[in-house]
Amino acid sequence: MKIKILNNTRNELLKRNEISFILHHDGAPTPSRMEVREELARVLKVDVDRIYIRKMKSVTGASMTIGEAHLHDSPENARIIEPKHIILRFSPQIEGKGKE
């Protein structure tokens, strides 16, 4: 899996970087959002808790995915700004949730 950063724009108002990327995954299925998040954190040399993948779209007939991510200045800032459904995608699942 190789990631190429296409655009990295700073949004000072929301204290984050908005990143567009292309992910090449030759001979493999589309990676999960968690795998992409970890790879982006490794490439950008930042903590995983600061990155949230907003969008991923696989290109039909090619082994690549185009995506967007937000890199926040702090995990606390991310929890305030990002929508709850995005935060829940990257939260560990609790066993037995909803069973009472």
pTM recorded for the entire structure: 0.83
pLDDT digits over 20-48, tens only? 999 998 888 889 999 999 999 999 999 99
What does the alpha-carbon distance between residue 66 and residue 24 come to, in Å, rounded to a whole number?
Answer: 9
Spans in the chain with pLDDT lower than 70: 93-100
Q: With respect to CATH, is domain 2-89 assigned 3.30.70.330?
A: yes
Contacts made by residues 55-58, CB under 8 angstroms, sequence distance 24+: 56/23, 56/30, 58/30
Residue of 16, 12, 15, 14 whose CA lies nearest to 68: 16
What does the alpha-carbon distance between residue 56 and residue 21 come to, in Å, rounded to a whole number?
Answer: 9
* Inter-residue contact 72 to 64 (CB < 8 Å): no
